[in-house]
DNA sequence: ATGTCACAGTCCCTGTGA
């Protein structure tokens, strides 16, 4: 089973890239973030033509998350079941694995109300994972907008006082891990940076100025069945790329 | 700090968000 997560920064703008990537990589499950579409605009038929079922939680101009699967798609849930109007979380069961696609709030700045929203959002995700069915494998993937450690940031000194690297954000990830989850890409690649996002500005990609903020958390039993995890940097190159690259996990199940 | 994108609403530029 192959599972990928990709923040596409508008599925409308990225459709040609997404379609060709699916044809090339053939993942069983693809988690999308920032579709920036309403459910009415989501290309269900185009995905179906490629052999995939979809569940989308769309909003319109901003946010929007989806799960694309060719191994079944059941028990779909949207959001946390509270009054949060932002479409940032969708869950489904695919091939017997509980899967979540997450678009964690950016935070904007440490003194911005959106940063408080980000920490509250991560705490709600932890609470959801703390009461999950431990009999079932789980994959929690998405754009976490947090670099778990300094190895995940091209220059920690450039991020002093900024979001994505602050202690409370990293502690929020530790709390998620404490529910029995592991950062798959890092566990299989202990030393490589594995950046997944590069700013469109400043020629960041060619300069190697990246962050690893797109993560695949898996339960410990699933980690034992994992064979590989990598970032597809090729998808960040070429014509009209997203500013994020897909992150892939491969499992012998 | 910012050399770019993508979006929606004024339409072919501007403000917002990342």
Per residue in A143-194, pLDDT (tens digit) is 999 999 999 999 999 999 999 999 999 999 999 999 999 999 999 999 999 9
Average the pLDDT over A65-79 and give the result: 98
- CA of A135, C1' of B5: distance in angstroms: 43
- CA of A132, C1' of B5: distance in angstroms: 38
With a 7 Å cutoff on the CB, does A227 touch strand B? no
Q: What is the pLDDT of residue A27?
A: 98
Q: What is the pLDDT of residue A141?
A: 98
pLDDT in tens, A7-28: 999 999 999 999 999 999 999 9
Q: What is the pLDDT of residue A21?
A: 98
DSSP chain A: -EEEEEE-S-HHHHHHHHHHHHHHH--SEEEEE-----TTTS-HHHHHHTT-EEEEE--SSS--EEEEESS--EEEEES-SSS--S--EEEEEETTEEEEEEE-----STTSHHHHHHHHHHHHHHHHHHTS-TTS-EEEEEE-S--SSGGGBS-GGGGTT-TTS-HHHHHHHHHHHTTTEEEHHHHH-SSS----EE-SGGGHHHHT-EE--EEEEEEHHHHTTEEEEEE-GGGGSSSS--SB--EEEEE--
pLDDT in tens, A223-238: 999 999 999 999 999 9
With a 7 Å cutoff on the CB, does A164 touch strand B? no
CATH topology of domain A2-251: Deoxyribonuclease I; Chain A (3.60.10)
pLDDT-based confidence at A101, cuts 50/70/90?
very high
With a 7 Å cutoff on the CB, does A200 touch strand B? yes
pLDDT-based confidence at A125, cuts 50/70/90?
very high
With a 7 Å cutoff on the CB, does A237 touch strand B? no
Average the pLDDT over A58-85 and give the result: 97
pLDDT in tens, A199-225: 999 999 999 999 999 999 999 999 999
Q: Global pTM?
A: 0.98
């Amino acid at each position: 089973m192959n599972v990928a997560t990709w923040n596409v920064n508008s599925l409308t703008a990225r459709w040609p890239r997404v379609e060709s990537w699916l044809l090339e990589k053939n993942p069983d499950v693809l988690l999308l973030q920032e579709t920036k579409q309403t459910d009415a605009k989501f290309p269900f038929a185009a995905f179906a033509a490629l052999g995939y079922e979809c569940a989308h939680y769309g909003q319109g101009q901003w946010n929007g998350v989806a799960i694309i699967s060719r191994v079944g798609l059941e028990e779909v849930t949207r959001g946390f079941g509270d009054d949060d109007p932002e479409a940032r979380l969708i869950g489904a069961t695919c091939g017997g694995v509980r899967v979540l696609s997450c678009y964690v709030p950016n935070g904007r700045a440490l003194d911005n109300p959106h940063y408080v929203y980000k920490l509250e959002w991560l705490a709600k995700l932890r609470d959801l994972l703390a009461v999950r069915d431990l009999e079932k494998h789980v994959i929690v993937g998405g754009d976490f907008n947090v670099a778990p450690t300094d190895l995940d940031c091209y220059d920690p000194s450039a991020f002093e006082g900024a979001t994505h690297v602050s202690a409370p954000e990293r502690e929020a990830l530790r709390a998620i891990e404490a529910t029995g989850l592991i950062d798959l890409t890092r566990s299989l690649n202990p030393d490589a940076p594995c950046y997944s996002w590069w700013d469109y500005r400043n020629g960041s990609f060619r300069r190697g100025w990246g962050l690893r903020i797109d993560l695949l958390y898996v339960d410990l039993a699933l980690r034992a069945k994992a064979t590989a995890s990598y970032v597809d940097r090729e998808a960040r190159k070429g014509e009209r790329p997203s500013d994020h690259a897909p992150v892939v996990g491969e499992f012998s199940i």
